[in-house]
Chains A and B, each alone.
Chain A
Amino acid sequence: MSRIKSCFAQLKNNNKKALIPYVAAGDPNPEITLDLMHAMVQSGADIIELGVPFSDPMADGPVIQKASERALIYGTSLTDVLAIIKQFRETNDTTPVVLMGYLNPIEVMGYDVFAKAASGAGVDGVLTVDIPPEEAQDYIPALRQNGLDPIFLLSPTTTRERMALICQYASGFIYYVAVKGVTGTAALDTTEVARRLKIINEVTDLPIGVGFGIKSAETAAAVGQVADAVVVGSALVNLVEQNAHALSNAEGNIKIIEEISQVLLSMRTALDA
């Protein structure tokens, strides 16, 4: 059984919801990411979503755009991100890791080369924001053949017909984008999310994660009532930004890890309550 599958199975047995933090790899410097991943697991993360920095993050709001820019100052590449995950796997063989990013770095590496390398590094799922299933005839088999879950987004504009099409190709879990907009947008409407999740649940048996617009422990708890997983990104990356200009990287990194851990612990508590 894949790590993602057994993660959701175990959570279901314990009647719990998955907490999925997103951070951009290499933000604000490459040294932090490995420690931050382990710290997030200790603070209650069930799955880690690791952003692959890209020069043109079309679907991201200002907070994650800046995260990409900070990571790219150090030239953090897809290859570098895979190396970090490989290190993470030396001491953690259970927590699933999902890559989130844009197609071009994968396209340039080549789908097969990428999928083999990612699988070898210990990646479990790949969420590529700008490849719909219609364009993924070669991408999906490359991932599948290497034991990687292609994770796809559903959005408020996705028709029921498209949901069925997308869920046919998706595995691992479904990621529901809770708002029309970019990452870090305000005001997620929990009633509307619940209504949409009901429809998605009729279309697929896959677990459903909800992201975009989850900023507080309260919202996380509310979404946890209706979803299988809660994804929190910009709220964490904000904490990176606030400490990105510390006197030294080492000093800033300690504060970032502390603050992100605290937020995750409070979300974990709220989700489990």
Chain B
Amino acid sequence: MTTQKQDQVGKKLSDMPDETGHFGQYGGIFVPETLMEPLKELKEAYIHYFQDPDFVTELDSDLTNYVGRPSPLYFAQRWSRELGGAKIYLKREDLNHTGAHKVNNTVGQMLLAKRMGKTRIIAETGAGQHGVATATVAARLGLECVVYMGAEDIQRQALNVYRMKLLGARVVSVESGSRTLKDALNEAMRDWVTNIDNTFYIIGTAAGPHPYPAMVRDFQAIIGREAKQQIMTHEGRLPDALVACIGGGSNAIGLFYPFVDDIDVSMYGVEAAGHGLETGNHAAPLCAGKPGVLHGNRTYLMEDRHGQIIPTHSVSAGLDYPGVGPEHSWLKDIGRANYVAVTDEEALKGFHDLTLTEGIMPALESSHAIAYVTKLAPTMDKEQIIIMNLSGRGDKDIHTVATIDGIEF
């Protein structure tokens, strides 16, 4: 394993990754040779355009006028009172265009694709939120869009599949491996390797080979930057804790990153414990996995003792992934962030709790964060503040919830 470089004295936590895309021993570039040059071009474009005033202006304008930012920071007064502890603020990413945080990233990567002269867009998707967010921005620019989705997920998320088709994207069913998100990612990589000349691969989470983890984080960091300003306006001080759900970890890193140097702010990433960590049927690599290499980066993985990736389970398709963004692996190892897990059952209770107490129907992914807040808030003082990322809305999950509750339409 790569040893951590020793030259980080005096550097801030937010200065990561290093030049070669490493967060300590995590991250990096582990891909077939054919992708090395395209990744180098992407890295150069990302570094260049993030400092280009025209690019930044266009991105800001799209985030304001197309996505609908800034998203509100909402004080969940009734829910806070019921839990009887900390004041809970919800960062309302569910109110974004397309209904989740995913669009922050697709808008940004699409602007890069346009500047790099790419004419064809590909993406992988699990729950379909990233696929929809990609198909949406591709439609807006009139670009060809192909979305890879595991055959299992296509069954589970029929509504989002239809949304993507309405938006003009071609949804390709992935029949290999476990037929879920990880296999969709493999298939998208295979497409990219074959069509690198004209194709831009929009990865949906803060994982994959460098520069994706850093780039996706930087596009999602708008969440934390806004939240920081908004909480100063509401409360005149920084929060005590941040809570977000983690699949690949893009909504969490988007919220965490702008606070990472504020060491008095605690951070909690909530993984999917599925049927329970002890059953092995879960999607919690940070809580119950080991480091390894998959999908272009070194990170915590769900793997067996021979290094084969093992099947995951979560009621939420968006968290059903055996890896996690490398920055989270690093934040875990250095002890800067805490990673916990809640079960399907707890998440479903969270879904109903927030719907009934605040009139906000959350995505099942975000419901994991809700379930953890219900444990955390009562342990804190009434003066303390939690910001939770409400990463997406629950419309797409109504069918799943209804089925579990024994209701048929």
Chain A residues engaging chain B, CB cutoff 8 angstroms: 54-62, 65-66, 69, 72, 75, 77-79, 102-109, 111, 129-132, 134-135, 137-138, 152-159, 162, 166, 177, 180-182, 185
B308 touches A54 (CB 8 A): yes
Taken together as a complex, chains A and B put the C-alpha atoms of A132 and B36 apart, in Å, by: 8
Taken together as a complex, chains A and B put the C-alpha atoms of A239 and B3 apart, in Å, by: 44
Decide if B295 is an interface residue (CB 8 Å cutoff). yes
The 6 A-B pairs with the shortest beta carbon distances in the complex, nearest first, are: A108-B307, A105-B307, A77-B306, A181-B194, A155-B34, A153-B33
B1 touches A138 (CB 8 A): yes
**Consensus secondary structure, chain A interface:** loop
Chain A residues closer than 8 Å to B292, beta-carbon distance: 104, 107-108
A152 touches B33 (CB 8 A): yes
Say how far A154's CB is from chain B's closest CB, in angstroms. 6
Could you give 28 example pairs across A and B, Cβ below 8 Å? Answer: A54-B308, A55-B309, A58-B190, A62-B176, A75-B306, A78-B307, A102-B293, A103-B30, A105-B306, A108-B290, A108-B306, A130-B296, A132-B30, A135-B29, A138-B1, A138-B3, A153-B34, A154-B33, A155-B32, A157-B33, A157-B34, A157-B36, A159-B37, A177-B33, A180-B195, A181-B190, A182-B190, A182-B193
A79 touches B306 (CB 8 A): yes
- Among A54, A79, A104, A158, max chain B CB count under 10 A is at A104
Say how far A167's CB is from chain B's closest CB, in angstroms. 12
B306 touches A135 (CB 8 A): no
Taken together as a complex, chains A and B put the C-alpha atoms of A153 and B183 apart, in Å, by: 24
Chain A residues closer than 8 Å to B266, beta-carbon distance: none
Chain A residues closer than 8 Å to B28, beta-carbon distance: 135
Chain B residues closer than 8 Å to A69, beta-carbon distance: 176-177
- Among B186, B189, B293, max chain A CB count under 10 A is at B293
Taken together as a complex, chains A and B put the C-alpha atoms of A154 and B34 apart, in Å, by: 8
Taken together as a complex, chains A and B put the C-alpha atoms of A154 and B307 apart, in Å, by: 26
Taken together as a complex, chains A and B put the C-alpha atoms of A158 and B34 apart, in Å, by: 7
Residue of A nearest to B306 (CB): A77
Residue of A nearest to B186 (CB): A58
Q: If the complex has contacts A55-B309, A69-B176, A180-B196, are A108 and B31 also in contact, measured as CB distance less than 8 A?
A: no
Chain B residues closer than 8 Å to A66, beta-carbon distance: 176
A55 touches B177 (CB 8 A): yes
Chain B residues closer than 8 Å to A185, beta-carbon distance: 194
A129 touches B2 (CB 8 A): no
Say how far B198's CB is from chain A's closest CB, in angstroms. 11
Decide if B12 is an interface residue (CB 8 Å cutoff). no
Chain B residues closer than 8 Å to A61, beta-carbon distance: 190
- Among A61, A102, A166, max chain B CB count under 10 A is at A102
**Consensus secondary structure, chain B interface:** mixed
Chain A residues closer than 8 Å to B93, beta-carbon distance: none
- Among B1, B186, B196, B308, max chain A CB count under 10 A is at B308
Q: Which residues 142-187 in B have Cβ within 8 Å of A in the complex? A: 176-177, 182-183, 186
Residue of A nearest to B1 (CB): A138
Say how far A143's CB is from chain B's closest CB, in angstroms. 15
Decide if B70 is an interface residue (CB 8 Å cutoff). no
Decide if B110 is an interface residue (CB 8 Å cutoff). no
Chain B residues closer than 8 Å to A158, beta-carbon distance: 33, 36-37
Taken together as a complex, chains A and B put the C-alpha atoms of A109 and B308 apart, in Å, by: 11
Chain A residues closer than 8 Å to B34, beta-carbon distance: 153, 155-157, 177, 180-181
B294 touches A129 (CB 8 A): no
B193 touches A104 (CB 8 A): no
A58 touches B307 (CB 8 A): no
Say how far A103's CB is from chain B's closest CB, in angstroms. 5
Chain A residues closer than 8 Å to B303, beta-carbon distance: 104, 108
Taken together as a complex, chains A and B put the C-alpha atoms of A38 and B338 apart, in Å, by: 54
Chain A residues closer than 8 Å to B14, beta-carbon distance: none
- Among A66, A130, A131, A152, max chain B CB count under 10 A is at A130
Chain B residues closer than 8 Å to A106, beta-carbon distance: 307
Taken together as a complex, chains A and B put the C-alpha atoms of A72 and B307 apart, in Å, by: 12
Taken together as a complex, chains A and B put the C-alpha atoms of A102 and B30 apart, in Å, by: 10
Taken together as a complex, chains A and B put the C-alpha atoms of A60 and B34 apart, in Å, by: 13
Taken together as a complex, chains A and B put the C-alpha atoms of A102 and B306 apart, in Å, by: 12
Decide if B48 is an interface residue (CB 8 Å cutoff). no
Residue of B nearest to A53 (CB): B308
Taken together as a complex, chains A and B put the C-alpha atoms of A181 and B196 apart, in Å, by: 9
Q: Which of B2, B190, B309 contacts A137 (CB 8 A)?
A: B2
Chain A residues closer than 8 Å to B176, beta-carbon distance: 62, 65-66, 69
Decide if B20 is an interface residue (CB 8 Å cutoff). yes
Chain A residues closer than 8 Å to B307, beta-carbon distance: 54, 78, 104-109
Say how far A166's CB is from chain B's closest CB, in angstroms. 8
Decide if B280 is an interface residue (CB 8 Å cutoff). no
Q: If the complex has contacts A69-B177, A135-B2, are A104 and B32 also in contact, measured as CB distance less than 8 A?
A: no
Chain A residues closer than 8 Å to B306, beta-carbon distance: 75, 77-79, 105, 108
Residue of A nearest to B187 (CB): A58
Say how far A165's CB is from chain B's closest CB, in angstroms. 10
Taken together as a complex, chains A and B put the C-alpha atoms of A177 and B33 apart, in Å, by: 9
Chain A residues closer than 8 Å to B1, beta-carbon distance: 107, 111, 138
Residue of A nearest to B175 (CB): A62
Taken together as a complex, chains A and B put the C-alpha atoms of A181 and B2 apart, in Å, by: 29
A135 touches B37 (CB 8 A): no
Decide if B305 is an interface residue (CB 8 Å cutoff). yes
A130 touches B32 (CB 8 A): yes
- Among A75, A109, A111, A135, max chain B CB count under 10 A is at A135
Decide if B38 is an interface residue (CB 8 Å cutoff). yes
Residue of B nearest to A54 (CB): B308
Say how far A188's CB is from chain B's closest CB, in angstroms. 14
Taken together as a complex, chains A and B put the C-alpha atoms of A156 and B197 apart, in Å, by: 11
Taken together as a complex, chains A and B put the C-alpha atoms of A56 and B37 apart, in Å, by: 22
